[in-house]
Amino acid sequence: MDIAALIAWVITALGGFYMLGTWLSRGGAKAGHSRLPVPVLFGHFALAAVGLVVWIGYVITEKAALAWTAFGLLVPVALLGFTMLARWLPVHRARTAAATADAAGQQPEPAERYFPVPVVAGHGLFAVVTVVLVLLTALKTGGS
């Protein structure tokens, strides 16, 4: 189960890297109209990356403290992720309105408007799977 969690975590991270790269390449916070607060976005990224390193440490050593530490890091990662999802949804829903406004020469679109829905959905789905597998492993349910 620990390897399955690792694989799910890596897949989740790949989706996150893609969205971060998209956000940065489209201007990110520099454009000044992103709905994703920089501390939330980079806090989510940093805590998830540290958690992944801790999880790799758990996979190598099988020390329960590392499994629980990784799970503990995933809790704020998930909360920050839900915060960003809640702030992204109105941007996604306003796609047609934003396209019309841009055509009229009004305010440019937020960088997160370019996140593909399948990537957002896949990132969230694999994140949930990761949290569940890490918790089950930490609880020693199903073995490791």
pLDDT of residue 140: 86
Q: What is the pLDDT of residue 142?
A: 43
Q: How confident is the model at residue 29 (pLDDT cuts 50, 70, 90)?
A: confident
Q: What is the reported pTM? A: 0.85
Distance CA 6, CA 65 (A): 17
Q: Tell me the CA distances in angstroms from 131 to 16, 83, 96, 127, 141, one per residue in order.
A: 15, 17, 34, 6, 14
Which one is predicted more confidently, 30 or 83? 83
- How confident is the model at residue 103, as a pLDDT? 56
In this predicted structure, what is the pLDDT of residue 110?
87
Q: Give pLDDT, residue 92.
A: 85
Whether pLDDT at 143 is above 50: no
Backbone φ and ψ of 30, nearest 5°: -60, -35
pLDDT of residue 106: 62
Q: Is 115 helix (H, G, I), strand (E, B) or coil?
A: coil
Longest CA–CA span in the chain (Å) reads: 59
Confidence check: pLDDT of 144 > 50: no
Q: Are 97 and 41 in contact (CB under 8 A)?
A: no
Give me the pLDDT at residue 32, please: 66
Q: Provide the total of helices (H) and of strands (E) in the chain, helices listed first.
A: 5, 0
Is pLDDT of 31 > 70?
Answer: no
What pLDDT is recorded for position 98? Answer: 53
Q: What's the one-letter identity of residue 48?
A: A
In degrees, rounded to 5, the angle at the alpha carbon of residue 79 between the alpha carbons of residues 33 and 48 is 90
